[in-house]
Amino acid sequence: GAVVSQHPSRVICKSGTSVKIECRSLDFQATTMFWYRQFPKQSLMLMATSNEGSKATYEQGVEKDKFLINHASLTLSTLTVTSAHPEDSSFYICSAREGQVVETQYFGPGTRLLVL
Amino acid sequence: AQSVTQLGSHVSVSEGALVLLRCNYSSSVPPYLFWYVQYPNQGLQLLLKYTTGATLVKGINGFEAEFKKSETSFHLTKPSAHMSDAAEYFCAVSSFSGGYNKLIFGAGTRLAVHP
């Protein structure tokens, strides 16, 4: 089946630094990728949707200058948390969709970010 | 706007017992509904989905769910729990907004299976 990887799986950084998370579709071309954030005991909250070669569409309340998303190829999207602060600590999950059918989203294993 | 409510953040059953995970949705249009499972340190995996047609949907690993429009529910069941079913389960509804199809997730239910 389709596989999506994320790297790193876990990252600890100091407040004020930037962190980049990669999301890769390993065996298919992802026309659309999604970035979610998950707080403990809460839902996955969609942060942004990105299509290859175009700007990401951010959900209401998500700071686009804070969470930079790049979808430069059909197999790679990156999320950069800029000037990270402790409140940015969370579990970040990406998913990739091959076509336009909503249910064909394949999820990555997630990245645990801890900002000290 | 679409939304999903999962009743019970934790459910514990004995091995061999019935599994029932509850999901209620809110949608202004006919919904597409999904159940995903997440095992520790892994991505979400699609268990089953309802789009149109038969309201009883069968998925992988012996799970099934029934779409009940009158109750706005899409509960997940399995007749006999197995130890390997212990995981986090998410119910989701599709939403078309801003030109994109998106998934709106419930908070999740952690299923524990004990011997």
Note the pLDDT tens digit of each residue in B19-28: 999 999 998 8
Contacts of A19 (CB under 8 A, 6+ apart): A11, A13, A80, A81, A84, A113
Question: Percent of chain A beyond pLDDT 70?
Answer: 95
Average pLDDT over residues A36-58: 86
- Establish if A46 touches chain B: CB-CB under 8 angstroms: yes
What span, in angstroms and rounded, lies between the C-alpha atoms of A115 and B105?
26
Chain A nearest-CA distance from B59, in A, is 14
Average pLDDT over residues A5-21: 96
Determine the residue of chain A that is closest to B48 in CA distance: A103
What span, in angstroms and rounded, lies between the C-alpha atoms of A34 and A56?
9
Determine the residue of chain B that is closest to A38 in CA distance: B107
Written as one letter, the residue type at A4 is: V
From the list A43, A57, A110, the residue facing B107 with the nearest CB is A43
pLDDT score, position B33: 93
pLDDT surpassing 80 at residue B102? yes
Average pLDDT over residues A29-56: 87
- Tell me which chain A residues have a C-beta less than 8 angstroms from the C-beta of B4: 43
Beta strand A76-81 with A19-25: parallel, antiparallel or unpaired? antiparallel
Written as one letter, the residue type at B104 is: I
pLDDT surpassing 80 at residue A41? no
B103 to A102: CB separation less than 8 angstroms, yes or no: yes
What span, in angstroms and rounded, lies between the C-alpha atoms of B31 and B15?
33
* pLDDT band (50, 70, 90) for residue B97: low
**Most B-contacting residue of A101, A103, A104 (CB-CB within 10 A), to test interface:** A103
B94 to A32: CB separation less than 8 angstroms, yes or no: no
**Nearest-CA neighbor of B73 among B3, B30, B25?**
B25
pLDDT score, position B5: 95
- Establish if A61 touches chain B: CB-CB under 8 angstroms: no
B103 to A110: CB separation less than 8 angstroms, yes or no: no
pLDDT score, position B100: 66
* pLDDT band (50, 70, 90) for residue A23: very high
- Tell me which chain A residues have a C-beta less than 8 angstroms from the C-beta of B43: 4, 93, 95, 106-110
pLDDT in tens, A71-94: 888 899 999 999 999 999 999 999
**Nearest-CA neighbor of A93 among A27, A48, A51?**
A48
Half-sphere CA count of A46, side-chain side, radius 13 A:
26
Contacts 24+ apart (CB under 8 A), A68-77: A69/A35, A71/A33, A74/A25, A74/A29, A74/A30, A74/A31, A75/A24, A75/A25, A75/A26, A75/A29, A75/A30, A76/A22, A76/A23, A76/A24, A76/A25, A77/A22, A77/A23, A77/A30, A77/A33, A77/A35, A77/A50
Chain B nearest-CA distance from A25, in A, is 13
- Establish if A111 touches chain B: CB-CB under 8 angstroms: no
**Nearest-CA neighbor of A111 among A28, A33, A20?**
A20
